[in-house]
Amino acid sequence: MKTIAFLLHNNFEQAEYEEVNNQLKDKGYKTLLITTNNEKEVQAMQQDVKKGDTFTADIFAEDADVSEYDALVLPGGTVNADTIRGNQKAHAIIHAINDAAKPLAVICHAPWILINTGIAKGKTLTAYPTLQTDLENAGAHYVDKTVQTDGNLITSRNPDDITNFVDAIDKALS
């Protein structure tokens, strides 16, 4: 059974974790939640403005063993993505997945993280539309599509695209 890890902090977009997680489990994948938070309880947001549910992470980022994961998902949420993009422990996990050419699936505002890690440069990506200028300034080519795959990178725009996003992750792992 393949394992897909999610990496997040607090104030992530609930649907981009919960719905993606549930759909991947329905397809037979094992999932794991990694947090950069100081506590295992993590707070979700709904549409970036309303508190959502809390979830319990399986492990902290410093305890993550990338060799055990077949793919990594980075949910969005503006506060979550902005926090993760400045977190060096998260960067190490993301780089290890990317360097191993394992699927790195990034949705909504999470492509900001690809800018800070240097991964965006030279790639064709999609994201929440307000990130277009940021991505282009970082040397990426932005496209407005439900899902964009460039090598091992899978990017998507928002919660409306989750089914296509999950299908792209599944295809990359097949």
User: Which residues are the active-site residues?
Assistant: 108-109
C-alpha–C-alpha distance, residues 157 and 100, integer Å:
25
Return d(Cα 87, Cα 78) in angstroms, integer.
Answer: 15
Q: Which helix (H) or strand (E) holds 112?
A: helix 111-116
Alpha carbon of residue 81 to chain centroid: 9
Q: Supply 13's token pair.
A: 């977009």
| Cβ 36 vs Cβ 70: under 8 Å | no
User: Which residues are paired to 13 by β-bridges?
Assistant: 45
